Amino acid sequence: MKRLSAFLTLLRSRVKDLLSSPRLLSAIIEGGRMLIAILIAYLVAFMVIGIVSDDPAMAIRWFVLGPFSSATEFGEVLKNATPLLFAGIAACLIIRGGNFNMFTEGAFYAGGLVTALVAIGFEGPGFLAIVVPLAAGTLAAMLIGYIPAKLKAKYEVNEFVSSIMFNFIVMWIGIWLISNVVIDITSGDNATAPIPDASRLRILIENTNVTTGLLIALVIAIIAYLYMFKTRFGFRLRMTGDNRAFARGVGIDVARAGISSQLLGIGVAGLGGGVEILANYHRFNWKTLPGFGFDGFMVAIIAKNRPLLVPLAALFIGYLRSGADLMAFNSDVAQEVVQIIQGLILILVASEAFFSSAWFRGLLAKRMFRRKRFASATEVDRHA
């Protein structure tokens, strides 16, 4: 009995320390922010649906519950989330390094194109037929992305502007290649030859379109977390992003850290483009930028630039888009309205101005901590 009593006393002490810890307080605040943002976003979405639809109840049902109506539909959620996961990790690495390099979009395109071309031309045994094309696509994206990263580090050229320009340079070169150089005239389209079956990613869940690309993305998320928070290289990257002047003062090579954060992010995006092609396409036929790179920054913002939260943020956006597609297909809500709804939800979820207001901080201090005073509004502000 004495041992049991001692154990219970120790357990109560540990629980009390946990409930009063700043880390838990910060997590509760962030969770409250996210929950309120999602609720507001859904209310706005429901209002729009109610205005434009003759049967808003059915439209809302498809929007909210449609992705869970069958294993196949939920598989579409996972399929949509996979490229967003790559893009979100890429954006996390870039943002935490203090950069805003938008070449993740061009990296998806370049990575997909080079992966497809190498897969078509390389006849390797077993898993090499997948690994070598993906590695080639990743390396190609990093080589191209090195240019705007180096321009920023050496000449202080704005990486936002230069990277957007490189996105379109890569896209138009790719379109020229698939239209004139590597075109397969038997396809009836401006596209490459078919990608061999040996190089295609395998289906992970039966009766769905979920492939092993999802596992690759999850592994990349874990590796990114370990790199950023468990290695000295990741510490240098985060320190450079948080305070460049201080990092330079303590001897960190901020130029090298800035370039490495951009190259790593671009490499992840290039890998994501290759995975997307090998998972969901029989040929490379992209005639425009895929959009995943831009979406990745939204995913990173929702995940607060934390790699382990990126899968949840990507899954959430994948769920929204799957529900929106099902609603557009099964109700009278036009596809254009679906795009508006998605934009509203993403903007509200990622909004910082509202959740930094004094009213919101006071609400958290009053409501979330009414029964037991864990924090005041000032303390909430400090964790915001």
Provide the b/e sequence for 290-311 (b: ≥16 CB within 10 Å).
Answer: bebbbbbbbbbbbbebbbebbb
Higher-confidence residue: 351 or 293?
Answer: 293
Give the pLDDT of residue 188: 87
Q: How far apart are CA 239 and CA 244, in angstroms?
A: 7
Q: Assess contact for 192 and 285: CB atoms under 8 A.
A: yes
Q: Which residues pair with 203 in a beta bridge?
A: 211
Q: State the pLDDT confidence band at 126, using cuts at 50, 70 and 90.
A: confident
Indicate the SS3 state at residue 333.
Answer: coil
Which residue in this structure is represented by tokens 């492939």? 211
Across 135-154, average pLDDT: 95
Give the pLDDT of residue 383: 47
Q: How far is CA 308 from CA 3, 13, 185, 313, in A?
A: 38, 29, 44, 10
Across 364-368, average pLDDT: 56
Indicate the SS3 state at residue 211.
Answer: strand
Q: How far apart are CA 266 and CA 104, in angstroms?
A: 5
Give the pLDDT of residue 333: 86
Q: State the pLDDT confidence band at 366, using cuts at 50, 70 and 90.
A: low
- Token pair belonging to 72: 């196949």
End-to-end CA distance of the chain: 45
Q: Assess contact for 88 and 299: CB atoms under 8 A.
A: yes
Q: How far apart are CA 236 and CA 256, in angstroms?
A: 10
pTM for the full model? 0.86
Give the pLDDT of residue 12: 72
Q: State the pLDDT confidence band at 374, using cuts at 50, 70 and 90.
A: very low
Give the pLDDT of residue 375: 47
Q: H helices then E strands: how many in the chain? A: 16, 0
Q: What is the pLDDT of residues 211-262, one digit of tens each?
A: 999 999 999 999 999 999 999 999 999 999 999 999 999 999 999 999 999 9
Q: State the pLDDT confidence band at 324, using cuts at 50, 70 and 90.
A: confident
Burial class (CB in 10 A: 0-12, 13-18, 19+), 383: middle
Which residue in this structure is represented by tokens 């990790």? 89
What radius of gyration do the chain's Cα atoms show?
23
Amino acid at 66: G
